[in-house]
Structure 1
Amino acid sequence: MQWVPTITLFLFLYPFGWIISHFVYLFNRDISSSNLSIIGTIITYILFLCILPSWGHIRWKTNNLWVSIGLDFKNKFQALNIFFSGFIFSFLLLSILVLVFFLCGWVDRFDNIKFTELLNAILLIVGIVVAEEIVFRGWLMEEMVLLFGLRRGIIIQSIIFSLAHYRSDIGLLALIPFFTGLFLFGLVLTLRRTIDRGSLWGCIGLHGGLVGIWYLIDSGMLVFSIDTPYFLLGPSKEMVNPIGSIFGITILLITIFFQRRLFARTGRFLASTVNASFKDETP
């Protein structure tokens, strides 16, 4: 029955955040349902952060929750070094994509980056990406390892990560490559954390770099030709996101191949306080 708290946590928190968010109606009756949903999600996340230290103490038997999920603030230089190593890797991956498109003649022009777009990209990294990494590669990964062990925990966490990004505005044929890319991306990020010996900063740098830099590209920094094959840019013409493209899936598979070899050389390590043995486990 160890799985019951894992499942019920957000089943309790999200409705509670939704109820609290509806008090906004007392001050603004004209607020849209989408903005209200965003407010509810933010409140849910704040409640989650408030509960997390007690969760770690009771369930994982740790008094240092932030170290357990990979956010060690003591050695700031090391944290920055790991973060920027992940960020630089994301820059290299997107540079390969841009170079291929440029050499194939599918880039019409390069435009300047606006300050507001740069600010939005930074907010994406600081807000959404950090939150996702704490939830998925931090808390959820620890929970999955506790329940299923390292190998199956990595896979199940990546499946949940991909399904959590379900979008109702794209068709089934587009969802399949989109979910496939997200699943592989979840594996890449989780293996990144194990290679970084439990640190979450490399995941934040890699995830944040891909999201932030692609946001700038998609906001007009690069103008792609109308002749560009859409399956190289995303799962469909209506959704330009390389994570679900043939190019993106191929790059992720190659990355996993080299990560797995590096993981085997650096040893089986995950900074965790959960009661699970990782002996004889391979991802």
Structure 2
Amino acid sequence: MSQRRQWIPTFSLFLFLYPAGWFISRILYLFNRDISSNNLSIIGTIITFFMFLFVLPGWGRTRWKTNHTWLSLGLDFRNKLRSLKIFCSGFIFSFFLLLTFCLFIFLCGWIDGFDNIKLGELLNAILLIVGIVFAEEIVFRGWLLQEMVLLFGLRRGIFVQSAIFSLAHYRSDIGFLALIPFLTGLFLFGLVLNLRRAIDQGSLWGCVGLHGGLVGTWYLLDSGMVIFSNETPYYLLGPSKYMVNPIASVFGIIILLTTIFFQRRLFASTGRFLTSTVNASFKDETP
């Protein structure tokens, strides 16, 4: 199959699944017209994701020539202790990154105080990790990374996948000057997660722990656990005064670049362990 034709299945999958999920959600709306448009969109996305999970085993058999699709995605459900250790290592690393970030803000005197974690906010943070982050990792660091490696090889595939991950989070409600650091931070974060999966010998659990730890913990911090001073320069907390997201802050981008530097060295010393059955050669490629 030519390189151009190999792109067709990759992009046609969600071009089919998303409209199908949207259509099914509209059928549900006919039986309950009290559903808001926002909730209807969420329902359509959830339906699309479950349809995606349903077709994945068949996709693996026909596209990647494997009967072990979940292993190819980095989800080893057999060795639960190893998977738990990898998840915890990713989660602990996310805690270390946020601790470094908050410690810098604290030493600069831009934290006014601390508050207790509320039960509702804690449950929301857990839901972010178990639901949204886990789903994102299956799609981006699991399926999409496999596809990009198939199309481009390991080195370019990692960069292309990170770029798609960044652009997939495009927001039209922020200005252009804020959008640049926002997408840049997400691109670098995508590289960190991709290299993390390689360092974890193909396991996806470290990515889930790292991504979920950052998202869930920051949600708790930003929900009132840490009270940031109004005098804090906005570029240290996010891309603009109206959007607080450390991924897009100056200090956050510096942390991500530093992490990539050390991950790259670790990757070079541990080798290439991405669990993959796609027809791509990882030989003599270094990110």
Q: Shorter chain as normaliser: what TM range?
A: over 0.9
Amino acid at match of 1:78: R
- Alpha-carbon distance between aligned partners in 2 of 1:67 and 1:264, rounded to the nearest angstrom: 23
Which of 266, 272, 277 is the equivalent residue of 1:273? Answer: 277
How far the C-alpha of 1:39 sits from its partner, in A, is 0.7
Is residue 244 of structure 1 aligned with residue 244 of structure 2?
Answer: no
Which range moved further: 249-258 or 30-39? Answer: 30-39
How far the C-alpha of 1:20 sits from its partner, in A, is 0.4
Is residue 51 of structure 1 aligned with residue 55 of structure 2?
Answer: yes
Is residue 264 of structure 1 aligned with residue 255 of structure 2?
Answer: no
What does the per-residue CA deviation read over 1:203-262, in whole Å, with 9 as the maximum and x for residues that have no partner? 000000000000000111001000000000001111100000001100000000000000
Aligned to 2:217: 213
- Alpha-carbon distance between aligned partners in 1 of 2:65 and 2:21, rounded to the nearest angstrom: 27
- Alpha-carbon distance between aligned partners in 2 of 1:34 and 1:281, rounded to the nearest angstrom: 44
Which of 4, 9, 14 is the equivalent residue of 2:13? Answer: 9
Which of 142, 159, 163 is the equivalent residue of 1:138? Answer: 142
- Alpha-carbon distance between aligned partners in 1 of 2:18 and 2:239, rounded to the nearest angstrom: 30
Which of 225, 230, 233 is the equivalent residue of 1:229? Answer: 233
Aligned to 2:74: 70
- In structure 1, stretches of 5+ residues that fail to align are none
TM-score by length of 2: 0.98
- Alpha-carbon distance between aligned partners in 2 of 1:30 and 1:271, rounded to the nearest angstrom: 45
- Alpha-carbon distance between aligned partners in 1 of 2:245 and 2:32, rounded to the nearest angstrom: 35
Aligned to 1:23: 27
Aligned to 1:87: 91
Could you list the structure 1 runs, at least 4 aligned residues long, displaced by more than 6 angstroms after superposition.
none
- Superposed CA RMSD in Å reads 0.7
| Identity over aligned pairs, percent | 77
How far the C-alpha of 1:26 sits from its partner, in A, is 1.8
TM-score by length of 1: 0.99
How far the C-alpha of 1:27 sits from its partner, in A, is 2.4
How far the C-alpha of 1:270 sits from its partner, in A, is 1.2
Which of 172, 176, 179 is the equivalent residue of 1:175? Answer: 179
How far the C-alpha of 1:268 sits from its partner, in A, is 2.2
Which of 12, 20, 39 is the equivalent residue of 1:35? Answer: 39
Aligned to 1:196: 200
- Alpha-carbon distance between aligned partners in 1 of 2:65 and 2:272, rounded to the nearest angstrom: 22
- Alpha-carbon distance between aligned partners in 2 of 1:6 and 1:76, rounded to the nearest angstrom: 30
- In structure 2, stretches of 5+ residues that fail to align are none
- Alpha-carbon distance between aligned partners in 2 of 1:36 and 1:235, rounded to the nearest angstrom: 30
- Alpha-carbon distance between aligned partners in 2 of 1:52 and 1:171, rounded to the nearest angstrom: 37
Aligned to 1:253: 257
